[in-house]
Amino acid sequence: MREDAEAGGIHTLRVEAPESRSLPAILAPQLRQALLRLSRNEKAKDLAQRALRGLAGFAKALKLKYQDIEVGFDFEPEPGLADNGDLEHDLQALLEASGAAAQKADTALAMFIDELQYVEEEELAALITALHRAAQRRLPVVMVGAGLPQLRGRMGRAKSYAERLFDFPEIGPLPPSAARTAIAKPAEAEGVQVNADALECIVKKTHGYPYFLQEWGKHAWDTASRSPITLYDVDLASASAIAALDESFFRVRFDRLTPLEKRYLRAMAELGSGPHRSGDIAEKLNRDVTDLAMTRNKLISKGMIWSPNYGDTAFTVPLFDEFMRRIMPHDDWRE
């Protein structure tokens, strides 16, 4: 089935923004695919081909600065279209040309970008400006982005009008009733009941965090020998669930840290789940707040922590404080 048919006529770009790739590099191949699909629409063919020429000029002009751009060229560049070598100007022109093609085809161009917090602020600013221009021109180009809590602040710093241009719904832990349903309903579909105290235990241990609910649900299911799943089953399953998280979900994040960053997070963990004042963390390390500012900023950029309020610092995922106390159990981190 064609992707545009699956999306109800909307042409979609689905990308993830890893730390190691530039925004032009991740957008260009997906945009090419969407424009090639649009070029098969008789009404939009000419405009889609023009946008593809713009994409060729865009990639060639920015290749010197963004060397990770790799995209096939279906047409020769059109001189003067998205080829200035300035990302903010060229991305505006490219999305305008692409939006015009989508409008002609009576459809829309939707960009779904995950891990948006990893996009550099200069590139984020160019993307916001381009979407703003498309909105001003009433072109059917939209973005649905997902990222860690610091994304709102990054977008505001990139362009001050970002908070007026976008909605920022927060997707946090599930409320207790929804968390219980997330465990009980799939089990009931398989003819298995989960005792109320077992459900409450899972909700408490996971803090309603969706991925942790999946892990505890899986391990409780594997541990129980019969229906109903009991509190005893959940207690046994918790050890294997925590071990699985330690070796994958948490460990992957921990291994990306420098020694000082690990010590900073360990100091946070010593204070509890948080959020914590930056001064309290620095005090645990016997350091000045200013000495640790760069470390804190690097941890924010790596998605390990965020600042819910000025001067406050919190872990981006629950239970990480407990992991830090398990992985660094002794007092060596204080040195």
* CATH class label, 3-165: alpha beta
Residue (of 289, 285, 288) closest to 259 by Cα position:
285
Mean pLDDT of the chain: 91
Domain 256-334: give its CATH architecture. Orthogonal Bundle (1.10)
β pairing state of 141-145 and 11-16:
unpaired
pLDDT bucket at 304, cuts 50 / 70 / 90: very high
pLDDT bucket at 214, cuts 50 / 70 / 90: very high
> What pLDDT, on a 0 to 100 scale, did the predictor assign at position 204?
95
What is the mean pLDDT of the segment spanning 211-235?
95
> What pLDDT, on a 0 to 100 scale, did the predictor assign at position 330?
81
* CATH class label, 176-253: mainly alpha
What is the mean pLDDT of the segment spanning 296-320?
89
What is the mean pLDDT of the segment spanning 100-118?
93
> What pLDDT, on a 0 to 100 scale, did the predictor assign at position 3?
41
β pairing state of 305-306 and 276-277:
unpaired
**Burial class for 133, CB neighbours closer than 10 Å (0-12, 13-18, 19+):** middle
Residue (of 88, 140, 80) closest to 109 by Cα position:
140
Helices (H), the chain: 3-6, 23-38, 45-62, 87-104, 121-136, 151-158, 162-165, 176-189, 196-206, 210-223, 231-245, 251-254, 259-271, 278-284, 293-301, 320-327
> What pLDDT, on a 0 to 100 scale, did the predictor assign at position 4?
41
> What pLDDT, on a 0 to 100 scale, did the predictor assign at position 7?
40
Residues of the chain with CATH 3.40.50: 3-165
Residues of the chain with CATH 1.10.10.10: 256-334
> What pLDDT, on a 0 to 100 scale, did the predictor assign at position 126?
95
Q: Beta-carbon neighbour count of residue 137 at 10 Å?
A: 14
pLDDT bucket at 9, cuts 50 / 70 / 90: low
Residue (of 168, 266, 179) closest to 217 by Cα position:
179
CA-to-CA dists, residue 157 to 153, 162, 188, 250, 300, angstroms: 6, 9, 47, 29, 14
CA-to-CA dists, residue 276 to 283, 317, 332, angstroms: 11, 14, 21
Q: Beta-carbon neighbour count of residue 261 at 10 Å?
A: 18
Contacts of 42 (CB under 8 A, 6+ apart): none
Residues of the chain with CATH 1.10.8: 176-253
Q: Give all strands of the β-sheet with 312-315 in edge-to-edge order.
A: 276-277, 312-315, 305-306
